[in-house]
Chains A and B, each alone.
Chain A
């Protein structure tokens, strides 16, 4: 039983990182109906920006919570800029193009980030510096809690709450929801749609950047292709929760995180990577709107 709870804890920790990535997918899909394939690679860039910042400021020589925060903020800021640039130069010129063209561009941007990453950073895995090294594990009723997992989880949940606040309680968030409801009507109401779409990418990329650092902290081997799988899995999680829905993305991510952890523990670990796809396909076939989504019929 203790072992089971241990898996639950690990699953929640995994789910919280998926959630950070999934939020970016779901927000972009909400406003543009576009799967931003490059999102997983923004996550990868977050890890690399964090690594270079840590080395540049020699943060790994004095591991502390403050060092972690600086790394995290640097990655978030860097990813915000990258997210903005991707939207501005790759997606905005195609705003009125057929969706398939935008989809192909998204695939192109994703491949470009991955493979130019291989050229710039090198294809071999890099070691992420230990900017924060907590001592010892916490034991609660026999369940081992790694402080890293706790910090991971706390930061993730905090960021999600901040996002929730921004989207539902601020003027910007209201504009964002208006744009996601209807571009043209929103712009008629005086909302600068392009700026709001940029903002959506920036917000999503910030979260992905944070996820990059947090994952790299727990799994310190980072490489330019590390974003592919988490990216696709987070997308699956977003669809599971109901794409376009922020709460749904979080719920879907936790379900996926737990399911993966449990299949590794009790089922077939080698099938772990297929699980997300199986869930994705089943959800799309059975209930395409996901858990929290509202199905919108396609009109002529």
Chain B
């Protein structure tokens, strides 16, 4: 346990409340939309980093987890709205419904994560990557065929509850849990599995449990992000959660550095902004350069700086020594391999 509850999390939470109350309404709706997407991407990237970066299990199906969370979360709120309109329309109770929906999304997704995590007992490396890719696609095909959630037409008329406060509240929860987790014995076991699975097993780490937990937790937060996304966009279709979406999240993780949470946060924000910055170019030329640039970044990064921007370091590692104690930084940087 920390020596003192890190004041920085409380401060960050107060900042989120302050922004929600005083700043967000004065901003251009377009800017707000970008900020909200950035927050959702932060959750997605840091949760994928837990699987890919910390536990070292290269997963390529994160969009699938996001889809499970998005659909199940949306179904929960819509069921409430249609069956218990009294509760749903009561302003004091609606947030609880929403929290329940987001947790339902997270839990359904975590269940999917366990199902995908189980094959990791036998697979590693490239095979695992393809199988997770396959799981993501299977989820998409199943959603495409489920008429109860709209099938190919998609799910429409989802209540739009997600706001700045909700997204960044969950961003903080997600980051808090992940940073704490990485410093815990369980998180250390993730790192040991990444560095050398056989050695980890030899010293008594339950590698199976570590890998499945990593998948379940990563999927849980991806599901939350999906549920937030669903209640912001208000329409869902299986086509949103295709391979390309998974790749986008992977690029965030790789660019930021596999094994660096602050790297994922920076990369998620950066890529969300870049995407919007490239939009005028796209309108002029009529073609989408975004994915070409993404893919070039990926290749050049692997050829020149394969550990990403931050490697396995955190932003707090760059602070002066006397600040570290104040922020409660106890993190031991894992071996730079």
Contact surface of A with B, Cβ cutoff 8 Å = 33-35, 90, 93-94, 97-105, 107-112, 114-116, 118-119, 123, 228, 232, 235-236, 239, 268, 270-271, 273-274, 276-278, 280-281, 284-285, 288, 298, 300
Contact = CB atoms under 8 A, between A and B. Distances in A.
Contact of A107 (B122, B124, B250): B250
Main SS class of interface, B: helix
A78 B76 CA distance: 53
A105 B298 contact: yes
Contact of A285 (B122, B198, B289, B298): B122
A107 B298 contact: yes
B306 interface: yes
B119 A116 contact: no
A101 B250 CA distance: 12
Interface stretch (B42-50, B106-114, B139-147, B311-319): B139-147
Given A93-B303, A107-B250, A277 B137 contact: yes
Contact of B243 (A105, A109, A228): A228
A107 B56 CA distance: 17
Interface in B66-110: none
Most central of A33, A104, A300 by chain B CB within 10 Å: A104
Contact of B299 (A90, A97, A298): A90
A285 B116 CA distance: 12
> For chain B, which range describes its interface: under 10, 10 to 19, 20 to 34, or 35 or more residues?
35 or more
Contacts of A273: 137, 141
B207 to A, nearest CB: 13
Contacts of B333: none
A119 B292 contact: yes
Contacts of A239: 127, 130
Nearest to A110: B295
A114 B291 contact: yes
Contact of A33 (B119, B126, B129, B145): B126
B134 interface: yes
A298 B127 CA distance: 14
Given A103-B129, A123-B287, A270 B295 contact: no
B247 A111 contact: yes
Contacts of B134: 232, 236, 276-278, 280-281
B288 interface: yes
B135 interface: yes
B12 interface: no
A104 B145 contact: no
B254 interface: yes
Interface of B: 56, 58, 60, 119, 122-127, 129-131, 133-135, 137-138, 141-142, 144-145, 198, 243, 247, 250, 254, 258, 287-289, 291-292, 294-299, 302-303, 306
A103 B303 contact: no
A100 to B, nearest CB: 6
A108 B288 contact: no
A108 B248 CA distance: 11
Nearest to B297: A108
A109 B227 CA distance: 32
A55 to B, nearest CB: 22
Most central of A114, A115, A235 by chain B CB within 10 Å: A115
A240 to B, nearest CB: 12
Given A236-B134, A285-B122, 12 more contacts: A35-B130, A101-B306, A103-B58, A105-B303, A111-B295, A111-B298, A228-B243, A270-B144, A277-B135, A280-B134, A285-B119, A300-B198
A274 B302 contact: no
A280 B127 CA distance: 10
Most central of A90, A107, A270 by chain B CB within 10 Å: A107
A35 B258 CA distance: 20
A281 B119 contact: yes
Most central of A111, A236, A271, A280 by chain B CB within 10 Å: A111
A270 B297 CA distance: 35
A27 to B, nearest CB: 15
Contacts of A100: 56, 58, 125, 258
Contacts of B119: 281, 284-285
Nearest to A34: B126
A277 B58 CA distance: 17
Contacts of B254: 104
A105 B299 contact: yes
28 contacts: A34-B126, A90-B303, A94-B303, A97-B306, A100-B56, A100-B258, A101-B302, A102-B302, A108-B295, A108-B296, A108-B299, A108-B302, A111-B294, A111-B295, A112-B296, A112-B299, A116-B292, A118-B287, A228-B243, A232-B130, A232-B133, A271-B141, A280-B131, A281-B119, A284-B119, A285-B122, A288-B127, A298-B124
